[in-house]
A and B are shown apart, each in its own frame.
Chain A
Amino acid sequence: MKIAKYACGSMDHIVNRRRFLSGVAGSVATTGAVVGGLGTLTQGIAAAEIQRRDMRVVVFNMHGGLSQLESWDPKPLTRTGGPFRAIPTSVPGIHISELLPMTAKQMHHLCLLRGVNTSEDDHGKGAYMMLTGRRQTPSAEFPQIGSVAAKMLHDDQTGLPGHIVVTPGGGGGRGNEAAYLGPKFSSIQLGGDKPPQNSNKPDAVSDEAEKRRHEIRRKINEQFLNQRRSAITDAYTHSYEQALKLMERREVFDVSKEPDSAKQRYGSSDLGRQCLMARRLLENGVSFVQVTHSNYDTHNDNFNFHIEQVGEFDQAFATFIDDLAQRGMLEKTLVVVLSEFGRTPNINLYYGRDHWSKAWSIAMAGAGVQHGAAFGKTNEEGTEVIDGQCDHGDIFHTILRAVGVDSSQSLIVDGREVPIADPAAEPIWKVLA
């Protein structure tokens, strides 16, 4: 492996996995080095690294702001409780909304965080905080959890991208979530349960012609890179090669290859198919998958909308958790269900709930988090956190820790140390197993 020498004089932002594993001293030439880890590799650390590369993260982004009262923290028969009851779960003493009957049976795999207080009621800012673990500032851009997970966990040898975002509609392009980690770690976006756009070779192009085309491209590319190499050109090169590998593994994205029984279990909804897709991606080596379920921004008619939306989520999500558990994947896969914020305990004039970030909930499952637990507590009407308060920064640390990443470490970017997670926050140790 050549060490990158960029025309601009800067150095590679990417921690090289092989170098990392072998402990070759060449790592010092890598500006994406992890402080406190790479320079002192031992066999033990290498083993931990190998183990970490098996870890996966899935984020369910409940777009618009899932109501905690209609999901993880119900307050039945109170002023704020709304019309839904709480039901028992597979864990004695933990009750969740009756809108989640199938998920209730998987509670022994889940860990609820009921004391989230992010103090940010704006959609965009809230989403940024939950996905980056930091407040948005004009002076710095931080990578989202998907990009960080792809960088820290992904094995390029899989031939698949490390960071995939499944969106309800559209898709097909690349995201822009990687910030200083570079475009290599930005997401490939899939439109629903469809494979990436333009990922099949046109019938008119023969295999031989295709091979020759790429040989020519690589040759020209190499000539150019010998003189003008940069992080950007590396990203382009990587994109081409990744696309080629992805084309070879296109069947991974084909949910129709799943048996009918699996499709039936996950349900006929878009989310059900997307969850099935997510499971296929994870088991084929994709490190991070984000599934978006939309939409929960229910200022009006909150209860009717949540019946529809949470009902759809329940079957797909519960089946997903059960499926991962049965396949032995849950131990190495962290599942996180988050939103940009929760919804007001107060019920407004038109049966709606508005934005509420002072006391809400997220759910986690698998990897290194406790299972069958509920951490944190809100008061009787759900208006305040009274125990176990945490915020976006703490959650970001916890996600990384749960998949074996030391969240206190820093990356060196353009000669500067950049903490991988907000140093003002820390993991929620009680949540970690």
Chain B
Amino acid sequence: MIDLDIQKSHVIHQWKADSPLIACRISPRGDQCVSAAQDSTLQRWNIPGGEKVVLKGHESWAHALTYNTTGDLLISGGCEGRLIWWSIADAEPKAIRTIDAHQGWIRGVERSPDGQTLVSVGNDRTIRLWKTDSGEKLAEWSAHDRHIYSAAFHPDGVHLLTGDLMGKIHVWKLADRTLVRTLDGSTLYGPNPGQAAEFGGVRSLAISPNGTEVFAAGTHKGSNPFGAVHEPLLLRFQWTDGALTKSHVCDGIPGGLLFRACSLNDATVVSVSGGSTGGILLFFNATQEKEVHRAMLPNIARDMDFHAATGLVASAHHDSHLRISGLFA
């Protein structure tokens, strides 16, 4: 495991795709990264060489990406409602399974801590569980009143969290799919009556490796959502009772939205802000409300992933670049 030094974060590589990027994930071994683009294709990039292979199969944008534990399979979820399993480690990756999984957008696909189970969520307000290897559907249940924006398995392997447009974060017991509690992330929902606009949502959920804290990322203070005037917000909850312990805010980012948050360790979270202010990596810890460090990226970012073993952060950008940053000297 590499020693992280967030103050030294810097862009190491940048590789250009043919279309603006919308999502990215680093493989479990840290030897490749997959991105998704506005032209509905996926790209596999080798790290560190940057060799690119383009994957075609979706009929729409794929916001949701996850690898299996070994990194042999990539599962992507598209706005057309399809889950596609890719033989991502092959020289020429193929779509080996396609399932019409949801009505409308899939917004999140995550794997369980043991890697055996996948969860997919989306605009049909339904949670679906799948066997990672076979694609067999294990369960589905209607779960939210509004679009489900994000999901995350708790490291205990017993619980699943899902977050929606309204900022509701439901905690489910996987065994019987009962609702254990709902965390109040409503500050991430920013209706703007003047613009008759519903805006915000739990854009990303993350949980600390030791399972004691839950993080919900998004935006608040949407004084002009149509004009991209809204500020980043990261909520920190205590796992044991669901209490909100901190609302992490940032100064000087009038057009920001946190698209994703990842735990670096048990105390620190990295998040990526996109929006009209630009692309920024923001680092938050448990002791202070505002970020402890920010690192500007060369262009507006739309997604991010963190790889703990290598200390690498991948970010997907509007200028069609995938950028790999190192959180070390």
Contacts and interface: CB of A to CB of B under 8 A. Distances in A.
A308 B146 CA distance: 10
B163 interface: no
A83 B60 contact: yes
B50 to A, nearest CB: 23
Interface of B: 19-20, 38-40, 59-61, 79-80, 104-105, 123, 147, 193, 195-199, 201, 225-228, 255, 257, 274-276, 300, 302, 318
Contact of B196 (A85, A168, A352): A168
Contacts of A304: 199, 201
Nearest to A99: B104
A295 B38 contact: no
30 contacts: A76-B60, A79-B19, A79-B39, A83-B79, A83-B105, A84-B79, A85-B60, A85-B80, A295-B195, A295-B196, A299-B227, A299-B228, A300-B228, A300-B275, A301-B225, A304-B199, A304-B201, A305-B197, A305-B199, A305-B225, A305-B226, A307-B104, A307-B105, A307-B123, A308-B197, A347-B20, A349-B300, A350-B274, A350-B275, A350-B276
Interface in A349-364: 349-352
A298 B225 CA distance: 8
A294 interface: yes
Interface in A293-342: 294-295, 297-301, 304-305, 307-308
Nearest to B20: A347
Given A298-B226, A349-B318, A84 B274 contact: no
A77 interface: yes
Contacts of A307: 104-105, 123, 147
Contacts of B197: 295, 305, 308
A297 B195 contact: yes
Contacts of A183: none
B228 A350 contact: yes
A85 B59 contact: yes
Nearest to A77: B40
B273 to A, nearest CB: 11
Interface size class of A (residues with CB under 8 A): 20 to 34
Nearest to A347: B38
Contacts of A349: 276, 300, 318
Interface in A268-299: 294-295, 297-299
A64 interface: yes
Contacts of A347: 20, 38
Given A76-B59, A83-B79, A295-B196, A64 B38 contact: no
Given A84-B79, A295-B196, A350-B255, 6 more contacts: A77-B39, A77-B59, A85-B59, A308-B197, A350-B275, A352-B228
A300 B59 contact: no
Nearest to A307: B123
Interface string A99-122: 000000000000000000000000
A82 to B, nearest CB: 8
A305 B198 CA distance: 7
Nearest to B228: A300
A300 B225 contact: yes
A299 B226 contact: yes
A295 B226 CA distance: 9
A82 B196 CA distance: 23
Interface in A115-174: 168-169
Interface in A74-107: 76-77, 79, 82-85
A297 B195 CA distance: 8
A294 B196 contact: yes
A169 B40 CA distance: 39
Interface in A34-84: 64, 76-77, 79, 82-84
A298 B61 CA distance: 19
Given A295-B226, A299-B228, A350 B300 contact: yes
